Structure 1
Amino acid sequence: MSIVAITGASRGIGLEFLRQLIASDEATKVIALVRNPDDAAQLQEEIKRHPGRVLAVKLDVTNEESVKSAAKEVEKLSPEGIDILINNAGAYLEPKGSSPINTSAKDILASYATNTIGPFLTIQNFFPQLLKRQKRTVVNITSAMGSIAWSKPNSIAYRSSKAALNSVVSILAQELGPQGATLVLFHPGWVQTDMGGSNADLTVSTSVSSILKVVHGLKHEDNGKFFNYDGTTIPW
């Protein structure tokens, strides 16, 4: 039984993580970290359905003060700490099909703010809460598009921001691993979300259930690994 904090938990993959964890009793408490909790109708339904077990905290991963404030609020709500941090919040901001050479600096910077710096800030600020528990697991939702080995000439802002996230997690895994932490990266597959579109291969439910199965079987030796949703490894 775990206490889990999830960024971007108001819809899509993040909301499905929350639902599956609560439904299976794998989490005693899930803390949804979202930009606008009061406007997240589906999340509010889960809060009403599971009083005391689903909590919401305002957090904007692109704003350092917001992340710091959220970490303090989570400490109040869960003074015993958290077992698992799921860095799920992400964004695809450049026009699809646009030429990499013509991509704007604005789109690249905004992509890094959400996809790279945001997860770094949450790990940095929430790690003291993880240290209070034994599991100390950080699940980072990245993308196979961030694999340099599988690079293609498109989506330069998204691909490079996810490649940077992969590097950040690899570095932090080496630093925090000796403290008992296990940091991993997951490609969720091509999922039927607002980002993935309706023609994607996987349902949100299948992607999340597959990832959770791997997460529950993680060992400390998996620290720093880059997984596909089904548990196979992806080249860097």
Structure 2
Amino acid sequence: MTVLITGANRGIGKALFDGYVARGAQTFGTHRQAETGQMLQLDVTDAASQCALAGRLKGTPIDLLVCNAGVNLDQGEKLESGYASALWEATFAANVTGVFMTIQSMLSNLRLSKTPKIAIIGSQLGSQSIASGGGYIYCASKAAVLNLGRNLAVDLAPEGFGVGVYHPGWVRTDMGGSSADISMQESADGLMARFDALSADTTGCFETWEGRAHPY
């Protein structure tokens, strides 16, 4: 099994990377720094960087692509005076466009797998049925990437792809904060179990890290 995880140098991405290495899978991670071993350089928002990664991995079958890289830039912003357009642009570039570009650049690699899977790390904050207020940019980006995942699932279903979107839980990371509910290890273990269960039969799913179907 060959796995590629974006944003694998810290947080949930690092825990997933370590988990698949421990399983014995051929595991590649990406970060924005220079290539070091199995950690490859990728800025998900940059087309040239995407092209370089595609060239680096040309001919390598990818069984599981985990789109984890993302940002949360609007914490603490005020409705009356915050949420500048530059924050919208940077957030959507990473959390939505970056996911699409990564999938697009790795599509030929995924098509070399007998059981190709794409797992998108979303958030419960992208659900329109449980809107909590605030965090407008991040929430909107996660709603958009949920929609993206659902549409990709439809288009790639005839080729036998499994495409899923996953809420990783409120995790104790730099983004989630120290008071969050669960550890990175708990989240990663749960997510890996979800990715194991992902298939052409379950494509289009939106699930929590512990396996519950999430409301859209």
TM-score bucket of the superposed structures, by smaller chain = over 0.9
- Structure 2: how far apart are the matches of 1:141 and 1:114? 12
In the other structure, the counterpart of 1:225 is 205
Determine which of 152, 155, 158 is the counterpart of 2:135. 155
In the other structure, the counterpart of 1:82 is 62
In the other structure, the counterpart of 1:11 is 10
- Structure 2: how far apart are the matches of 1:161 and 1:217? 26
Q: Matched residue pairs, number? A: 216
- C-alpha distance 100-21 of structure 1, shift in aligned 2 (>3 A): farther
Unpaired segments ≥5 residues, structure 1: 39-43, 48-54
1:99 CA displacement:
2.2
1:162 aligned partner, one-letter code: K
- Structure 1: how far apart are the matches of 2:29 and 2:116? 18
1:30 aligns with 2:52: no
1:189 aligns with 2:169: yes
1:65 CA displacement:
1.6
1:215 aligns with 2:195: yes
1:117 CA displacement:
0.4
For residues 88-125 of structure 1, give each alpha carbon's deviation from its aligned partner in whole angstroms, at most 9, with x where no partner exists: 00100013253277311111111100000000001111
3-state DSSP of counterpart to 1:220: coil
Determine which of 167, 173, 195 is the counterpart of 2:153. 173
3-state DSSP of counterpart to 2:129: coil
Unpaired segments ≥5 residues, structure 2: none
- Structure 2: how far apart are the matches of 1:210 and 1:99? 35
Q: Is the CA contact 2:115–2:199 (under 8 Å) kept in the aligned structure 1? A: no
- Structure 2: how far apart are the matches of 1:96 and 1:222? 37
For residues 135-164 of structure 1, give each alpha carbon's deviation from its aligned partner in whole angstroms, at most 9, with x where no partner exists: 200010011001111112200000001100
1:202 CA displacement:
0.5
The aligned runs of 1:2-151 (5 Å cut-off) are 2-25=1-24, 27=25, 29-37=26-34, 47=37, 55-75=38-58, 79-96=59-76, 98-99=78-79, 102-151=82-131
- Structure 2: how far apart are the matches of 1:152 and 1:92? 16
For residues 148-201 of structure 1, give each alpha carbon's deviation from its aligned partner in whole angstroms, at most 9, with x where no partner exists: 111122000000011000111111110011111111000000000000011000
Q: Is the CA contact 2:73–2:138 (under 8 Å) kept in the aligned structure 1? A: yes
1:37 CA displacement:
3.8
> TM-score if structure 2 supplies the norm length?
0.95
For residues 46-101 of structure 1, give each alpha carbon's deviation from its aligned partner in whole angstroms, at most 9, with x where no partner exists: x5xxxxxxx122110111121121111122xxx34110000000100013253277
- Structure 2: how far apart are the matches of 1:217 and 1:108? 34
Cα RMSD, aligned residues only: 1.4
Identity within the alignment, %:
31
Q: Is the CA contact 1:185–1:224 (under 8 Å) kept in the aligned structure 2? A: yes
- Structure 1: how far apart are the matches of 2:16 and 2:39? 14
1:204 aligns with 2:184: yes
